[in-house]
Amino acid sequence: MSPRHTHYDMIFLGGGCAALSLLTRLLRSGQYATARILVIDRDSKKNNDRTWCFWEKGVGYFEDVVYRQWGQLDFFSAHFSSPLLLDGYRYKMIRGLDFYSYCLDLLERSGQVEWVEASLADVSRTNDTLILKGASGSAASQDLRAPGDSGSTFTWNLSATLVFNSIYKPAVTSSKQVDLLQHFKGWVIEIPDSPTGDHGSRPAFDKDRATLMDFRVSQQEGATFVYVMPLDERRALVEYTLFTPSLLRPADYEEGLRQYIKEYLGITDYRVIEQEFGIIPMSSQAFSFFEKGIFNLGTAGGQTKASSGYTFQFIQKQSEGIAARLLAINNSAQVRRDVLVYENALLSLKADPVRFRFYDRVLLNVLAKGYWPGDQVFARLFERNEAGKIFRFLDNESNIQEELAIISSLPTGPFLRAALTAL
C-alpha cells in the first residue's frame, strides 16, 4: 500500500507511543478536522507488545487506559529493604494494546489519518521533498515473507508541512559516549484457583502493593533486579531486568524468573499466561530534536531517560509541549501559517536543563564502568532519600537543592570519578 497523496499537513514516521501520544492530543483538539495526516509504521499496532509502568501524581492524560495502579511500593536489596514513601505518587501500568486501541480508534474516527504499513530503510528531506525508501507488504517483514516472495520495495517522494520521526537509530555522537541496555523478560504468572502448592487458599499477591525493584538476585552480570506488579490476587507481572552492555541467552532470563518466583515469591505452582521481552537503550548519545527538516520524537528524540530507561512520561511531556505550540498557532490571528512558523514554534520549546543529562552520564558511567555496584547505588539512593524525591529527580523536575541532597547521599569516590569521566 502506498500513500494516497503526495502532500500532507503532517507525516509521522513510526506510529508508536510518541506519535500516537501527540496525534491523540492534536485530533482531540478538534482543530485538525480538515488536515491530511500520514502515519507510516511497519506494524499495525494490534499486539500487546509492551507494558508501560510509570509514577504519576493525580489523573494523567491517558488515565482511561490505566490498567492497574498501586499506592504502595517496596524496594529490596541485600543492603537495604523497605516500603517506599511515595509522597502522593502512584505507580501506574498501561498495557500497550489498550493504549494502541484507544489511540487508533480516535485516529480512525477522525477520518483524517492515513495509516500505511511499510518498513522504512532510508529517510531524507531536501528542500520540500521527503524521500522515503523501504519495503512494503510482505517485504516489510521478514517473518511474513513467503518463500520466493521478495515483496515490493519503494521510493516515495512526498511533501509535508511537518515531519515527525520516532524510528530510533542508535548512533555514536562522541568518543565519551556510554551505552548500556536495559533488557528484560517478563512473565505474567497465574496461580491456580485451588492451588496444590504452598499457598493453600491464601491470595498469592497483595493487589495494592507492588515491588519497584528487588536486587536480591545474583548481581554477577551487572545491575540486575526483578519487579513484581500484581494484577489481582492470583496474577502478577514479574520482570527480570538488567542494566548491562549486552543481552543474556534467552534461557538465562527464564532461569532468573523461575528462581525468583520460587525463592522470593515462594510460589511453585503457577502458569505463565503472557510474556514480554524488551530492550530499552540507555545511552549518553546526543539526540537532536530537529534534524534535516525532521522533528524527532520519543526514544529517537532523546526522551528515554538514559539512567533509568523510563520514557513514557517524558513522551507525554514532549507531546503536551508540541501540541500546545501547534494549537496556539492555529488559534492565533497569525496570517502566515507556513512551515517556518510551525518549525520556529517547535524549536522554541524549552528542553530540560542540561544538568540532568550530566547526572545521567555520571550514573551511566558508574554502572557501565563498574565504579560502584548497581544494587548498592539504588539501595543507597532509596535508603537515604524519600522515593518521592527520587521520582522528581528522575523526572528532571527537582531543584538544585533537592539534587544536592540526593548527590550527597551517594559515595563521593566512585561518583566523582564518574563525574570527571562524564565531563
Binding-site ranges for ligand FAD (CB under 6 A): 14-19, 40-43, 50, 52-54, 119-120, 166-167, 276, 278, 280, 298-300, 310-312, 315
Q: Of 143 and 193, which CB lies nearer to ligand FAD in the complex structure?
A: 143
Residue 421 beta carbon to ligand FAD: minimum distance, rounded to whole angstroms:
26
Helical spans, DSSP H, in 112-197? none
Residue 13 beta carbon to ligand FAD: minimum distance, rounded to whole angstroms:
7
Q: Give the three-class secondary structure for 334.
A: coil
Determine the Cα–Cα distance for residues 314 and 302; give it in Å rounded to an integer: 9
Residue 312 beta carbon to ligand FAD: minimum distance, rounded to whole angstroms:
4
Residue 165 beta carbon to ligand FAD: minimum distance, rounded to whole angstroms:
9
Q: Identify whether the C-beta of residue 182 lies closer than 8 Å to the C-beta of residue 299.
A: no
Determine the Cα–Cα distance for residues 41 and 345; give it in Å rounded to an integer: 26
Q: What are the Cα distances from residue 257, in Å, to 33, 52, 101, 103, 250?
A: 48, 19, 30, 33, 11
Q: Identify whether the C-beta of residue 73 lies closer than 8 Å to the C-beta of residue 229.
A: no
Determine the Cα–Cα distance for residues 241 and 245; give it in Å rounded to an integer: 13
Which residues, at least 6 apart from 108, have a Cβ–Cβ distance to it below 8 Å?
A: none
Determine the Cα–Cα distance for residues 69 and 94; give it in Å rounded to an integer: 9
Q: Of 296 and 376, which CB lies nearer to ligand FAD in the complex structure?
A: 296
Q: Of 40 and 364, which CB lies nearer to ligand FAD in the complex structure?
A: 40
Q: Of 239 and 372, which CB lies nearer to ligand FAD in the complex structure?
A: 239
Which residues, at least 6 apart from 398, have a Cβ–Cβ distance to it below 8 Å?
A: 389, 392, 406
For residue 135, give the C-alpha cell: 519495503
Q: Of 14 and 137, which CB lies nearer to ligand FAD in the complex structure?
A: 14
Q: Of 52 and 359, which CB lies nearer to ligand FAD in the complex structure?
A: 52
Residue 115 beta carbon to ligand FAD: minimum distance, rounded to whole angstroms:
11
Determine the Cα–Cα distance for residues 241 and 219; give it in Å rounded to an integer: 11
Residue 70 beta carbon to ligand FAD: minimum distance, rounded to whole angstroms:
13
Q: Of 252 and 383, which CB lies nearer to ligand FAD in the complex structure?
A: 252
